[in-house]
């Protein structure tokens, strides 16, 4: 495997290393203990699709075990995490991405740096595999300590308005999805993604696997004239049933889907918004803002490499703007490092390392390095960032920064 690395001793008999086939059952048990039975199908899917070699483990080889780890079936595996290769698309440009998943440390080993050791190892593997971006869908806050921020932008969650008129249109019906629906659902998902500017590709193997072993996830479809025309993936979120992903071919199918979902408990339904899609269109009338949703965490390990990868896209944005004529330079000052982009007559002539300044530089766009993912992936544009973070400055560079790095609508899924 191109991303393999040497085992590293952490002390106390603990060793962080890449997983092997012999670790499979122990990893499975460690994840089950950390995430509960509800996540079992997702762990099985990951092992099936990405293989056990996607994981790294901290193995207790010296009996440093401090709890009943040996009794929970996970044996020597004190902690585990995996790295999956994915493709994120930013305005259609493919960005090779490494997604960290299934970070789990046995209770008796927590707060001793095991998750950090695993994630840092996976970051090194990710760099060797050529990933230009890191992505994590995870619990709040923790990943900020590892250089991540909330990006790309989230999709707000809505609830149904009291009295929203959602009668199933004639000729429509809803039912649970079956494995035979896989191709139809994949097509509906792709169609919905066309409304967003930041998306993640989905592995074709997901749908058949998901529909065969849905676990605690419910997948519903709406049919119109006997054909699948909409679907929703839902799970329980506290007292609510949350539709975290849904798509519909048109407004009639979206209405049928919502009517079906709302049939038993309309007011406990939460639905992730999908602006620009037929479902989003129906939700403009039927939905009411509930919360901001759960954006993923992202990390840009090498700003220069990612900006160079995006050169063609940046050039297209520039060429379509008032900066298409004449010279322009964007200095991105990240306090600890800096990158400069030089452009002439709509063409980017160089993207190169620049000298960082600790003091805020006039004529430069300055932001904390951990906020870079938010800017590059369009979670917020520079003016929005400036409004929420006093460490962000862009005097005299607001318009150019916004032209090159505008806010973007995202529709990204954990898998
Ligand atoms: C979350 C979890 C993986 C942390 O594992 P760990 O080995 O204890 O983590 P570490 O000791 O390496 O801590 C890494 C950093 O995160 C911080 N941290 C750890 N757990 C945290 C938590 N629950 N909330 C906030 N910060 C946390 C630590 O302080 C540490 O920061 P520092 O290195 O800057 O001091 C572990 O508690 C666990 O398995 N929880 C259940 C499963 C889960 O929720 N996994 C995450 C799914 S996305």
Q: Which residues pair with 333 in a beta bridge?
A: 338, 366
Q: Does any domain span residue 139? A: no
285 and 179 in a common domain: yes
Verify whether ligand 1 is closer than 6 Å to residue 343 (CB atom).
no
Domain boundary, last residue among 222, 256, 291: 291
What is the domain extent for residue 243? 157-291
Domain boundary, last residue among 233, 256, 291: 291
* CA-closest residue to ligand 1 atom 3: 104
140: Cβ contacts below 8 Å, ≥ 6 apart: none
Verify whether ligand 1 is closer than 6 Å to residue 141 (CB atom).
yes
Q: What pLDDT is stored for residue 68 in this prediction?
A: 44
Verify whether ligand 1 is closer than 6 Å to residue 105 (CB atom).
yes
Q: Does any domain span residue 146? A: no
CATH at 162: 3.40.630.30
CA 140 / ligand 1 centre spacing (Å): 10
56 and 125 in a common domain: yes
For a mutational test of ligand 1's pocket, the pick from 142, 297, 370, i.e. the residue with the most ligand atoms closer than 8 A to its C-beta, is 142
Of the pLDDT bands very low, low, confident and very high (cuts 50, 70, 90), residue 63 is low
Q: Is the pTM of this model over 0.85?
A: yes
Verify whether ligand 1 is closer than 6 Å to residue 79 (CB atom).
yes
329 and 247 in a common domain: no
Question: What are the tens digits of pLDDT across the range 207-225?
Answer: 999 999 888 889 999 999 9
Question: What are the tens digits of pLDDT across the range 117-148?
Answer: 999 999 999 999 999 999 999 999 999 999 99
Please state whether beta strands 365-366 and 157-160 pair in parallel, antiparallel, or not at all (unpaired): unpaired
CATH at 311: 3.30.1050.10
Q: How far apart are CA 109 and CA 212, in angstroms?
A: 35
Q: What pLDDT is stored for residue 37 in this prediction?
A: 84
Number of domain units in the chain: 3
Q: How far apart are CA 230 and CA 388, in angstroms?
A: 38
Q: Does any domain span residue 328? A: yes
CA 302 / ligand 1 centre spacing (Å): 24
Domain boundary, last residue among 291, 312, 331: 291
284 and 309 in a common domain: no
- Classify burial at 93, counting beta carbons within 10 Å of its beta carbon; exposed 0-12, middle 13-18, buried 19 or more: middle
Q: Does any domain span residue 3? A: no
* CA-closest residue to ligand 1 atom 19: 111
């Amino acid at each position: 495997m191109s991303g393999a690395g040497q085992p590293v001793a952490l002390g106390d008999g603990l060793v962080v290393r890449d997983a092997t086939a012999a670790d499979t059952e122990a990893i499975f048990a460690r994840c089950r203990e950390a995430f509960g039975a509800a996540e079992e199908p997702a762990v099985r899917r990951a092992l099936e699709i990405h293989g056990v070699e996607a994981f790294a483990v901290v193995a207790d080889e010296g009996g440093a075990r401090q709890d009943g780890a040996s009794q929970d079936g996970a044996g020597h595996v004190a902690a585990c995490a995996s790295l999956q290769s994915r493709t994120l698309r930013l305005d259609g440009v493919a960005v090779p991405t490494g997604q960290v998943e299934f970070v789990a440390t046995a209770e008796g080993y927590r707060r001793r740096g095991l998750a950090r050791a695993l994630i840092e190892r996976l970051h090194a593997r990710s760099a060797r595999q050529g990933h230009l971006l890191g992505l994590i869908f995870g619990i709040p806050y923790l990943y900020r300590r590892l250089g991540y921020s909330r990006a790309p932008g989230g999709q707000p969650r809505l609830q149904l308005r009291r009295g929203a008129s959602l009668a199933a249109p004639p000729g429509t019906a809803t039912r649970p999805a079956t494995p035979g629906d896989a191709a139809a659902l994949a097509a509906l998902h792709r169609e919905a993604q066309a409304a967003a500017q930041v998306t993640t590709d989905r592995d074709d193997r997901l749908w058949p696997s998901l529909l065969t072993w849905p676990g605690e996830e419910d997948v519903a479809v709406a049919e119109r004239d006997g054909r699948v025309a909409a679907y929703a993936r839902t799970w329980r979120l506290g007292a609510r049933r949350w539709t975290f992903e849904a798509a519909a071919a048109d407004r009639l199918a979206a209405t049928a889907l919502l009517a079906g979902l709302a049939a038993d408990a309309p007011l406990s339904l939460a639905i992730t918004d999908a602006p620009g899609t037929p479902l989003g269109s129906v939700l403009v009338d039927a939905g009411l803002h509930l919360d901001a949703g759960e954006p993923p965490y992202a990390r840009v390990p090498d700003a220069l490499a990612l900006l160079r990868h995006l050169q063609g896209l940046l050039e297209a944005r520039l060429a379509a703007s008032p900066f298409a004529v004449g010279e322009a330079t964007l200095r991105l000052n990240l306090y600890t490092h800096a990158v400069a982009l030089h452009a002439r007559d709509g063409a980017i002539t160089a993207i190169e390392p620049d000298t960082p300044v600790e003091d805020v530089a006039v004529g430069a766009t300055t932001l904390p390095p951990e906020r870079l993912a938010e800017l590059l992936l369009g979670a917020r544009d520079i003016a929005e960032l400036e409004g929420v973070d006093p460490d962000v400055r862009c005097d005299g560079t607001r318009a150019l920064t916004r032209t090159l790095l505008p806010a973007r609508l995202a529709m990204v899924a954990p898998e």
